[in-house]
Amino acid sequence: MTGDDFFQPVSGFDLPRFAGIPTFMRLPHVGIADDRAADVDIGLIGVPWDGGTTNRAGARHGPRQLRDLSTMIRQVHPHTGVNPFRLARCADLGDAPVNPADVQDALARITGFYDQVMDLGITPLSAGGDHLVSLPILRALARQGPLGMVQFDAHTDLFDGYFGGFRYTHGTPFRRAIEEELLDPERVIQVGIRGTMYDGEDIAWGEAQGVRIIMIEELMERGVEHVMDEVRERVGREPTYVTFDIDGIDPAFAPGTGTPEIGGFTSFQAQRMIRKLSGLNLVGADLVEVSPPFDPSGGTAWLGASLLFELLCVLATAREAAA
């Protein structure tokens, strides 16, 4: 228990949820250079960048809308009873610096920011941005060796290149991460893959490296409980990262994303899968590809904010267990 009131979210009993400056879950904003940054256990971070998008852009606006909708989050998980704000000192660390005009410079800036986060011993929970933002985050987190990864997604993001060999898009981050030995492919598992394909080369390459790819049909046939048992066994007790692409969820629930695919998870299935991550050795997580221009109502962002809370609960539990 932290017992530090500074790091508690503002209650809706004290200030209406539509009032005040929006931060993730109404937490205090602590800049990475602030004196109190050294006290933070879990930092919520926006990465407002979609320079890796190949079709429908807009995810750069995701963190701002996610912050706004996350003001609806309260303190206690309704099913598990976990209060992550009492298990860990949490704060909004603001946004990672980005460059919308230069992909490589943006990747370097993001990694530089997360290097500072790691130097402070903070566990990052990030909101994208397109899925390429996971690559520079992993470059900072995988300092001690390759990580395992649980990926909830409609797409593998294991493509080699686009447009004549351009190797850095939101469809390539995990191929690059495996090549750079940021991820141990034998401890990478992808859940929910579906949709029409270019040629299947991404799946073939991933499986050849040892990545476990669970198509949506297999998830629906086996069920969440059975699949998540395999997920837990696959990653084991070694350090593991979690990445959740909002397009893993069926567009009936989450239309606000750049590359929707029908036949995905329900919102409740997504909650159940994240809850099943409790007890793993989690070193960070992200939620990406919320694109407000495709859902101005904010429904997709509200779903995303709710899943960020689910992720925060399992990260706080992992942090406490490691203490």
The tokens for 184 are 């141990």
> Could you tell me the strand order of the sheet in which 183-193 lies?
90-95, 42-47, 123-128, 282-288, 240-245, 147-152, 183-193, 212-215
Q: Are 257 and 289 in contact (CB under 8 A)?
A: yes
Q: Name the one residue in this structure whose structure tokens are 């309260």.
A: 74
The tokens for 40 are 């933070």
Residue 131 counted as an annotated binding residue: yes
44 vs 313: CA distance, rounded Å: 13
| CA 7 remoteness from chain centre | 22
Sign of CA dihedral 119, 125, 126, 131: positive
User: Which CB contacts under 8 angstroms, 24+ apart, belong to 218-226?
Assistant: 219/191, 219/192, 219/265, 224/269, 224/272, 224/273, 224/276, 225/276
71 vs 107: CA distance, rounded Å: 29
Q: Name the one residue in this structure whose structure tokens are 């256990």.
A: 41
222 vs 242: CA distance, rounded Å: 21
**Residue 156 CB: number of other CB atoms within 10 A?**
21
CA geometry: angle at 171 spanning 101 and 178, to 5°?
105
Residue 157 counted as an annotated binding residue: yes
Binding region for Mn(2+): 131, 153, 155, 157, 245, 247
What residues form the annotated binding site?
131, 153, 155, 157, 245, 247
